[in-house]
Amino acid sequence: MQTEQESKQWQLNQRQSSWRRLASLGKWALLVVAASQLLVAQTDAQRRSFDEMPVTKAAGSSSIRFKVSNIARGAGAIPPADQTTFDAYFRDYELARLTDLKSIAEYHTIREKLIRARLRAAGKTATGTSAVYERINQLCLEVCAKIVQGNYHPASKLNAMLILKGLNLSEPTQTAGAVPYPPTFDVILSALKDPDLPDGVKVVALEGLERHAMAGLADDKKAAVIAVVLPMFTQAKPPNNRSPDGHRWIRQRAARVLGAIGSVGPNNEVLQALATVIGDANVHVKIRCTAARALGMLDYKGVQYDGVAKLAEDLFKTAMDAFDAEVDRLPSMNFAVSKPMVKWYFTTVYQGFYGLTADKNGGLVALTGDGPQKDFVQGIAAGFEPLYSIFDDKDLSDDVLRAKVKKTKREVEAYIDANRPSDAANGVVEEVETASVEPASVD
């Protein structure tokens, strides 16, 4: 018979194993969640007529597939005599099949074939691209944009957006990473403005925008993204046709996009929106933590913000609330805390304080000026930091984790009470003399 400690360890191992399995299936998670929405759409399809593109079966005959495959494997241009055949295979056969309702169960297979064709076309080159690769990109953009914007089945729209999100100007090479395909940006952003776009497709579109933002956008494009995505992030209540979990997911993806943009926005509106959510105890902790990570990605050069002291307090409180939420989620104290989940919570808050780079010169620390507020913020960050690093201990037990969190919370809260700048709770920072209380530490 297992002892209580052995039982707890077994439960912990089971949970960690589950997390590993979930991580390995991460690339499928989106489709699994979206499937529930598309099942509803199947019922809707019985009441509503969706368009279907004509599929030219002759354009996808075995002889043509063989010819197109050989062209894609080469590093040269498409032979002029085969250009029409090549285009028809992709435009009129493979891509058109994404709208054929009789082939709905094969959409993922069609999409994977297109990905393999593009990779073959780029794999023979040192630059990660080729004339054949570019042409496949153009055809995918042309047809998938029509599907996303047209009267097509939600499953068709989802797969079309997945293709658009994944298109690259060039594939990774030994010297450079993949570069998102610039022409897809306008299509993806425009799709997000469509109020009738299915939520599953919106999530993929947000992922696509994040890719473009991480690669770098011009200021006008950054402003355009903020105008569309910020309202999605700040919308507190889900629409009538969206579940709370689905709404949380969309708000998290929106926060990731805002972080990738890296701008505080006009009049600090992005910064203020992130700060408001982080400080709102009624918002789901996963949204608050994602906002904390986004906070660590913003460029604070030349930015003035009076609420930095209160934001530092709210950032620490987010970590504590997230840990409490994880503990409260457990059916009983006999269940082990999910360390991967807690580690993610604490990592996002750490990134909010210090940024995402190793030099620790980003995030909220970069937003502080000289004087008491700088010392105050850095004191809170230093007090919290050991909770971020304790996961370096691979043998960290549940009891030790709980004890360290409790001790850190007590010490940092004492530091805050002793050193809080005047009116910091109202977002106004004045110079005051700090008390000689050491930042919290964890032994």
Q: How would DSSP label each residue in 340-364? A: HHHHHHHHHHHHHHH-SSTT--SHH
Burial class (CB in 10 A: 0-12, 13-18, 19+), 1: exposed
Number of domains in the chain: 2
Residue 249 lies in a domain: yes
Tell me what pLDDT residue 143 has: 97
| 370 and 277 together in one domain | yes
Rg (CA), the chain: 25
Tell me what pLDDT residue 72 has: 82
How far CA 230 is from CA of 165, 206, 264, 269, 344, in Å, comes to: 20, 12, 11, 9, 23
Residue 21 lies in a domain: no
| 198 and 276 together in one domain | no
| 115 and 251 together in one domain | no
Provide the CB-side half-sphere exposure for 53 (13 A, CA).
Answer: 22
CA 374 to chain centre: 30
Contacts of 314 (CB under 8 A, 6+ apart): 275, 278, 279
Tell me what pLDDT residue 127 has: 65
Tell me what pLDDT residue 75 has: 62
Tell me what pLDDT residue 32 has: 42
Cα–Cα distance for residue pair 353/288, rounded to 1 Å: 14
- Domain range for 368 is 226-443
Tell me what pLDDT residue 48 has: 64
Residue 283 lies in a domain: yes
Residue where one domain finishes, among candidates 166, 186, 216: 216
| 272 and 419 together in one domain | yes
Task: Compute φ and ψ for 262, nearest 5 degrees.
Answer: 80, 5
Tell me what pLDDT residue 167 has: 93
Residue 40 lies in a domain: yes
Residue 260 lies in a domain: yes
| 206 and 302 together in one domain | no
| 274 and 238 together in one domain | yes
Residues forming a β-bridge with 199 = none
Cα–Cα distance for residue pair 271/259, rounded to 1 Å: 10
Residue 9 lies in a domain: no
| 367 and 295 together in one domain | yes
| 205 and 277 together in one domain | no
Tell me what pLDDT residue 10 has: 40
Q: Which residues of the chain have pLDDT under 50?
A: 1-43, 45-47, 425-443
Residue where one domain finishes, among candidates 177, 193, 216: 216
Q: Which amino acid is at 335?
A: F
Judge whether 191 and 161 are in contact, CB under 8 Å: yes
| 231 and 212 together in one domain | no
| 205 and 347 together in one domain | no
